[in-house]
Structure formats: C-alpha cells, structure tokens
Structure 1
Amino acid sequence: MYVNHTDLAEGVAFSPGTCPDGAALSTGCTGGNTSNNPAECPEAPMPGAGDLVLNEVHADPDADNGDANGDGVVSTSDDEFVEIVNVSGQTLRVAGLELYKNGADSPGATIATSCLGPNQAIVLFRGLADGASPPDLGSDVMVEIQLDSLNNDGATLTLQTPDGGVIFDVDYGGAGNDQSVALSPQLDASGDYVDHATLTEDGALFNPGTCPDGQPFSSGCPGGGAMGDCPDAAAPTAASLIVNEVLTAVPTGDEGDANMDGNRDSSDDEFLEFVNIGAETLNISGLVILKGDSEEAVVATECLAPGETLVLFGGGVAPDLGPGIKAEIASGSFGFTNSGTNVTVRSSAGVEIFNEELPGASGASFTRQTQLDPNAPMVPHTDVSAALYSVGACANGSALASGCPGGPGDGGGMDGGMDTGDMMDGGMDTGGMMDAPPSACDMAPMAAAGDLIINEIHADPDADNGDANGDGVVSTSDDEFVEIVNVSGGLVRVAGVELFRETTSERREATLTTSCLGPGEALVIFSGLEDGAQPPDLGAGVYVEIDAIGLNNSDMTLRLKDPDGAIIFEIAYGDAGNNQSLNLSPELDSGGTLVEHTTLAGEGVLFSPGTCANGASLSTGCN
C-alpha cells in the first residue's frame, strides 16, 4: 500500500535512493528499524538454548551522558537497549524471535533481522529522536528500534523462538546506576551482570555492539571473553606459541591498511601474529612485547585454544578476521623502525617466546620461511608469496588452522606447494609437503560421516569453454573435477580419505594428501593439467590436488571413505553430459539434489570450482 512519505519518516518529504529513514535500500527497509540486515538464510537453523546471549542491558541511561543510540539527544527512555550476541559458531536464522519481560503475555520486541553470523549481534533500542536514523554500529551489528521499557531495579528477559523454545531466560538484576550492566566474563551466559564502567579502563557507561573496550565480539572480548578466564590453561612457551608474522614497515598507500579500518597508518597498521601450535589452551595474558630493551605493549587477550590466532595491532580499530582469529589493539604503539628492529616477546613469567633482529624492510612483513615452524627463520614475506603480508592467514592465503598445507618455504610456496616433477604420469608428487608441522591439525578428528560433502562434479567439460583447471587448454579429461567441502563446523583431518567411483563395480580414484580442512574450506581434485602448467590458485581456504580421476558422463556413484573404509559421503548422478558441471541444490546440503550448474549460476556459467555457484566463498554457506 502506498502512503504519504511523512507517515514513514516524520518531517521528511522524500528519500530518493534510500529507505525513508535514510538507511540503505539493501537493508530491506524493515519498518525503518533494521540496519545492516544480512542476506536471507532460509537454510540456517533457528537458535537453540545457549546459542544467543544477552550480553548488555542499558536500562538506566545517564541523564547527561546517556545518548547510546547516537541520535544527539539524551533520553532516559529512547536510549535504553539490549545487546544480543550469537555465540554458537554458526549462522542462525533469527527473524521472528520474541523477547518477553517478566513473563508478559505479549512480547516487548519481535526480531525482524533475518540472520546472525558467528559473533554478530543485534542491538534493540527503545526509540529514536524524530527524524533520526538508526545508528551504524558496523557490519556485524544489526540495529532495530523496538523494545519494551526496561526496569532499573532488574527484570527477567526471555528470548523465545516462534514456537516457544527458550533461548535464554535471565534476570539482569539491578541496573539503576546511570549506565548499562554487562556480562562478566563477556559473552559467557554463566557470568554475572556488573556495572559497565567496571569492565573498562576509561569508565565508559555503555558500548552497544562491541565488547566494553571497543573490540569486536570476534576477539572473544579479552579480559573476559567467550572462553572466560583460563587460569588452568598452560603457560606459553617458544614451542607452543609461535610468532608467525611481524609487520614493522607498513606499505605505502591503501595496501598499508593492514588493520582494515580504512586508514593507512605507519604505527596503527603494524602487527604481530601469534598462533597456538600446541595441543593445549594457552593463557597468554600478560605477554610483553619489547623493542630492544623498551617495553612497548602488553597482551590483554587471555585464552588461545589450539590452532587459534591472535593478531596484535599497533592501533586503530580491531577488525573481524573470522573464526578462530582474535584481534586486539595493543596497549601502546610498538614504535618499530623501518631501518631495523629487535623484537622480543616474553611471557608474563619472563619466558622468552620470540627474539629476532629484523633488518630494514621495504613495505612487507617478515614471516616464517616455513609457515608455523618455530625453527624456521623469519624472511621477507615477498620471499615466499607475491603478497606484502597475510594478516591472520598463511602466507599462501589459506587458513592458519589448517596448518598451512603446501605452504611456502617447503620448496614449493611460489608454485602452490606442488612438485610438478611427476606431471607426466597424471599425478602430483607432493613430496610430503602437505604434512603440517605440529598444530591443531594433528589434534583434529578424522573426517567422519556428514563432515564432508561433494558439492560439485564436473564430468563433462564443454569442448570450447570447459577450461576449469585454468591451464589455458580445454581438455574433456583434465578439466574434470570434484569439489569436496567441509560442512562439519570444525577442523577435520582429511589426509588418507579416499575417493571411489562406482558403475558396475567400485574403484578407488584418489587418496587425499591435504592434511586438514577448516570449516567451510574446500578441496578440488582435478583430473589433470597441461604439461608444465601450475595448479590453479582458487583463493584462501581452497586446496587443489591433481589426480587422474575418471568421471563418466552418466550413471555413476561417487563415494568418500575414511582410511578404515567407513563411508563419509556418497552421491549418485544420472545424466551429466550437458557440457557443464552438476551442483548440489541447495548448495552444501547433503539432502540436496544435483542440478546443472547454469540453473544456479545463470546462462554461460558452466562451473565454479572452489566457490558457490554464484562465485561467493563457500564459507558463506552459499545462501
């Protein structure tokens, strides 16, 4: 129904190119109340108990300094808010969730936002000044303007699914001290609600959409994050905690914006990358970073699980670097010099973790010649990769939690970690390079039933446009491929997993050599390559193997088995002879059906090894 514009935005006569409230049309203009609304996610599950936490409640805004909604007007009602965070580790469908106060018969808010990814949040404000737009709290924070009044003396807030399933049911206690109350430890549903100012150094009264210190929720909120305090965790040593990369000389121009805050800064964009390569959770709080003999910064992050990474930046705003990667802004600027710097890291107990004399640099980081190997020397990043740095990732762009299989510095970093010396026999000799150094991969479970799926099968390459392996030559055999994706939600070992084909009888086609796949990561097996060609670089989180698989154009079953012969996944196809790949629909859904690739991607797009059919990263879920 068409209505007068002022019925939707008081005092605003028109809004060409935006929603009536000024928000981007891409937000969906959900009643003018929702900003940063993510893509629809019909396949994502609804949250269950404990998947979302009530992390902060602002029931008693300060009469002078309580402008939490950023509309320029302090209001002891409009500036009330609640902050709800996804701590489940997976994307959840949240539209229709209902928030009740003190067991009321009707909800005080019904969430309109479609989806929340891991560590994303919704902030529900009670109101806004006339004509004001909802605040932009960042890409990982959704904002809605709808909330029942909050009691200063405490109340029980209950979040339920549309069918009555309880997600949380908590009493936030007294909240009448002119500030919000927040969980301590942060993001821990078993924690206590305390005055916000007690969690910050600057006495901040509220912080909707971030940890109390301004860090993103993906950081775990150091000093009280999702893991909480870890006093029983192991102390770090040089064998368990590795400094894998250091940027001391920030590149010029936009390339120098390592912390991704939109500004290149010679101090803020300096960073150190720490990775837990041990088998135990480490308590890294109190790590000291020294330049020469001068103490420059102390780490606040407390807990680092096996395979997890901490990137410590010199300043700016901490970015969201993805699952398993924490980002922190250092307590002080590092002050590294471009002409050469001695960098030392010591534990809170004085144990030396790292001590390197880094020479003068010209706009590139220093990284381990063999990634994640504590005994490997630090070399310029450009010695092992075309990139100037790889913050939060292996030098070749793959996930650090994978162990950097095929990583640079093992004699093959520049060619993707492959030894092409055995190309003529149709196979690839990896020379043992796919075995990661001791890391989370060694401790990961072997892939089991349901952990892996075959998402795409290219059995009939088009004779003119079928160059799927990117070697510049169309081959109806070499360009065949199978795309295998980790849908388990965790790191799994895949080395030794076998691919079988079956028509009238079963035959093994390939044995995987890649060590591990992280959640959402993929392995693409191509049948071959033109002599002298290099395996394609399909981007971060996508591994490539070359093995002489043979796929029929019709009537074949493909089967993945673990080294003991247990079936992990199997799928059968009929006709695959229409000069394009077959793709699961819905993608990444083991219950999906195989359809021709163009039905998902559109005319002319015949295959998409290593990505969703629409070209998006497989880690997005292909929603």
Structure 2
Amino acid sequence: MKEKLFTVCTLLFLLNISYFAQSELLVTEIQFDVPSSDAGDANGDGARSSRWDEFVEIYNSGVEQIDLSGYQLIEREGVAFFTFPIDAVLNPGQFAVVFGGGEIDSFKNIPLGTLLYSVELVDANSGFSNGLGKSNLSNGQDRVMLINPLLADTLFEMYWGGPDIVALSTKGQYLDSTITISGTTISGAIGQSITRDIEGTKWDMHTIVVSDPDKLFSPGANAAEKKIQANIVLTEVMFDVPADALGDANGDGVRGSKSDEFVEIYNKGPIDGDLAGFQILDREGIVLYTFPDNTPILVGQYAVVFGAVGSAGFSGITPEALLFAINQTDENIGFDNGTGKTNFSNAGDAVLIVNSVESDTVAEVYWGTALPQTSNAIYLDAPNTISGLALSGSVRQSVTHKLDSDLWDVHAVVSGDTTSLFSPGLDAPKSPYINNGDLIVTEILFDPSSDAILGDANGDGTRDSRSDEFIELYNRGASAIDLSGYQILETSGIPVFTFPSGANINPGQFAVVFGNIRPTGLGANLPADAVYFSVSEAEDNLGFDNGAGKSNFSQAADAVIIVNPANADTVVEVFWGDAVSLTSNAIYMGFPNTLSGTTISGSIDQSITRSITSNKWDTYQFITKDTSNVCSPGKDAVLVNGIEKENVLPQKYQLSQNYPNPFNPATVISFSIMQTEKVSLKVYDILGREVATLLNTELVQGTYNYSWDASTMSSGIYFYKLSTKQFSSVKKMMLLK
C-alpha cells in the first residue's frame, strides 16, 4: 500500500512539474502559405515546395527542459499530423521547428541549436498530411493545435479562415483583429508565415512583425529579433610575412610571402554560429575567400584562413581552431583578387569580413594608402593603435588585438614579447600595455565626509581627512594584472604612491589604496575579496603626500593619474576643478563625463564613482541613489543597491538582453513594467537550478537597470527570468571568466 501511494504521489509530482514546464511552451510561428519561387525555400534544402516548406515553430520560454516526447500537432479535423519522437527535449531558450518535409541534413540557413524535424522524406506531394486526403495546411481555413496526450491538455490552438471553422478547445484563438498587430483578419494567399514575438501576445504576418518587407519567415529565430547572431570579430591579420623560417605561420615547413599570410576571426558568442556565406574581401571590395556551407564555429572558437598550404599540411597550430587555405596546390597564389593582385599589399590594403547572407559587413580593418569602404572601418593608426603609430609597410609580423580590447598593434606590442610575431588560432598573450581598458579607476574619495562614522572610509575607527582618502581600481579583463611598480600621480605629475612588488589584481577584483591605515587595521565591513594598500602606516597627517608640501588631494583642483613607468604608459587620468590635464586620455569631472551633466569639485562630503559597466562618473549618492552612505571602497558602487530607475515611463512590458554579454563579472539587466506590482528577478543555471534571487519586491511603473555581480559564480550559460502577475520573460546570458 505504501509503495502504491508513493508511486501515485511521485506520478502526480512529475505531472505537476510537467504542467508547470509546458506552460512556458509557446508556438511562435506558422507557415501555411509558402512564398512563391525560390523565396519560399524556408527549410533551405535548395527547392521551394508548397508542402515541405510549411512549418510550425515552438519555443521554450522557461528555465527548465521540456520533454516533448509524444506531444502532437493537430490540424482542423482534430487529426494529428506530427508526433514528437521519444527523447525530444527542448532546452530553455531553444526553438524547435517541424517542417512539412525534406532531408534535415540538407537544411541550411537555420540557426544552429534549433531542434529540426521533418514529416515527409519521400513524397513531395505530401507534408502535413492528416491521412484523409489532406496533404498540407490549407490557406482558406485550417488550424494548428499543440497537445500533450499524457495530460489530455491542449497547450495552443490557432485557427483561420472560415466561415464554418470553430475552436476545438478553450485555448482556441481566431486569427482576426482581436489578436493581430494590424487589426486585420488573416487567411488565404499571404505568401509568408504568421508569427509573434516571444515576449508578446500579438500575431501578424511576418513582414509586419519584423517591419521588413523582405523578411518572409524566420524558422528557428525570434522574429522580432530577426535572427540571433553569433558575434564574429576580426582578431588578427598577417599582411607582411616575417623573413626566413620565422615566417612559416601555417607550419607547412616553407615560408611563403603569399601562403603564410592569414586572416583570423573569432566567435565571441553568445551562441554558436555558422560561417556559411561569410566572405573575406580586399580594399577593392573583391571577394578573396568564401567560407563553405555547413561551417559551424563554436562560442570561443577561432577560424583562420591562410593564403595557401603546402603538401605537408598545417602544423603547430592549436587543434581547436578551424583552418582553411585558399590554395592547396600553388603557394605563389594566396589572397588573389583575380585582377593581378595575388596577396595583401603592405603599403595599403583592407580586410573586410562580410556576411553575404545578411548583406552585412561584420568588420573592416584597413591600413596605409587604402580608403575605408564602410562606416565602421578601423584604420590602423592612432587612436586605434596601442603605440599610437601607423601600421603599414614592412612590419614583418601580424597585426592583432586582444579579445577584450579594440586597440590594434603589431603582434610583438600586443603580446609584450618581441619574439612573438603571430599567433593564428590563439589570443595574443597578455600585453603589459593595459590602457586597453582592462584596468580602470572606479572610485576616488578626495573629500571624506565630516561625519565621524560615514567619514571613516577605511574602517580603522577614526575619521581623518588624509588617511580616509582612497583610490579604487578594478580589473575587468580576463587575466591577472601585475601592478608592481605602477604609480599614482597627482596633478603636478608627482608620484604619491608606488605599488609594491607582487601587487597583483585578479580578474574581477578591486584594489583600494588608502591614505593611511591605523594599527587597528581595516574595518571588518570592507569586502574581503578586494586587495588593500596604504600610502602611510605611521602618521595620520601623512596620506597622499607629494613631498612638496601637499599631504592629500585637493578638493578644489587635483588629478589621479595611474602610470606604468616600465613603458612610460599612462593607463588613465581623472581630474577635477581647476586642474589641468596632463595626458590626452584624461577624464574631466564635468559634462559629458558625469551622469548628471554637472561639474564636480569642492566640498562634496562623499566619493566620486562610476559603475564597472558604465563610463559615466558622478557623486556616490547620485550614482547609487543611496543617501545613507557616502562611498563603497572594494565593491561596485551600483551594486550597493543593485537597481537604478530611469526617468522615463515605458510603453510596454519588456525584459532586455543583458549588457555586456558575455560578461565578467558584472552585467546590467534592464526591464520595464507598466504598473506598481511585485517583481521577481531570478537567475538560473543551465540545469534550471535557481542560483540567485536579484529582486523580489514591489516596484512602481518604470524602466529599471539591475547590476548583477557574478564574482562568486562559475563560467557558463545562465538564464534570468523576470516575473510579474502580468508578464513573464526569460533570456540567456554568458559569464566568461
């Protein structure tokens, strides 16, 4: 009896989980009238078919996997035209598309990761067949239902046309003005799919939903976002091969001025991509190379195209990289444009990466005498180079940039190693030139609060105008930074602190330098995961002392400058009041660098700060909206409260994609709600387990930005879910440490 009771309870529990999960299952696109001619080839198998190119798209909007085994698609007569096979599991954020027919291996131009199914593999005259003489969906009148026979539950029903068609379930929706964006009734020969945004409830013809008359369908992608794209970036170009054996970049045993030239690209995510149709062009806009069909590139993977490769083949290149060669027979022909130019020109040329399928230029880099062809072209000269020098001519190495920086230079400069001339398939080793944005100043306290408690920034038990001043730095890169020998200068250019040997700051870590720390030590309230330093540990009246009569920072006019004397490199300069900048990349505490647009100096009784995810500075209380505190040494200021409300009333419920994404370790999640209500914002891991509750409180109507610090989380894919009584949405993000 106990065993039977346990079995029944277990079954009910599992059914409850299944019901909860399936409530997040959405039908998001239906094609019942295939566009004419080649434009109707929705499955990408090379042929338009009025039956095989019909499709139904389903989306998992939840945070748990949904087992679709046994689920059925039903047509107007209530007859199933497709049953999902065993082990048909749909992951969170994943689409499943069922086509009327075709060989799945021949399908193209559908986003990777889409679950694909085909009803008919042989008979071109049959697709969504009901076995009663009807071989496809009818334009005139029909329906699509999604049911779970196990629970005898209808999850979705859409029907159109008429006049005698009626709903078969309580979920029935008629495709008329009550549910369409345009307010019209839809049926008949529309020559495109009907679709909806995964975050909305209104349907319409695909061209209306995406506001693009040329986009007729989008199987496997959210129509409102067109197609979720992998972030393909150009990372390294070799246009001048090193001399002698040092130039054998492809590892085939022979140095070739044409064969060893190469172009390297990288997928930054957040999803796997397909390079099919991507092309490499030169300065004249001539195609030099087209990637073959079915060329998947995973998140975090490189693809390298060489001019040629000898019979010995590639060698010495990381096996994780995708390797291609334009020519495999003649090493005297490489990046050939067919007009007499057989390789890149040192004096002046360009590399363009173009997605020909989307008619989109992904990246362009040009150098020397070449001219730009697109608005987002990067010229290899100041201010786009680390050294500030032009990169062209006989450089005898590749030009490159790190993944977390937009600044290019010759490989030896980026890598910090004069013997390192190229690195196809790998990120250039860590460079000592960190003014690429890895190291940033995030908070400065030049006017400690006069309050005895709030002004005690270092927590040593005493408020002091010198000892409680501090400067906070943050490493937002992917590698540790050795600060040994780095210096902090004030407005006269005089060092007021030098970091000791072994002063490392890890990725995602803060470093705080106080003017002084008493023997009682730092306060217990300071974050334990930050690293702390002190200019002086002997006298309270000595802090950031320049040795020329100035013992602390001036409220009226001063500057904080971080320099690396080893290479005479200024990482950053922040200055305020009447101070004069000493470097070209100085940031002044006034418009347009402050969030409020005001000029900041004088007696402010708090720190000036910025979020690690924003370039805008301001006073601590203006940034955080926290009037009970005046500074936050060792942690992101915005994360003190976590949430910031914008001064704008939204027009709809919305959960936006987090930014940045991928991120390390902090990111901002923006959302909008239309009324005062309780809001839940939670984070789940790839297995659907809740790992963080960011919000569970009542908020008024508005648009909000929530900063999430994932320092304690492991690298990987996470999902964040916003829930209110009126709205629910889930999105995916990636943490890369």
TM-score category of the 2 structures, normalised to the smaller one: 0.3 to 0.5
The normalised TM-score by structure 2 is 0.32
The normalised TM-score by structure 1 is 0.37
**Which structure's relative contact order is higher, taking Cα pairs within 8 Å and 6+ residues apart?**
1
Larger strand share, 1 or 2: 2
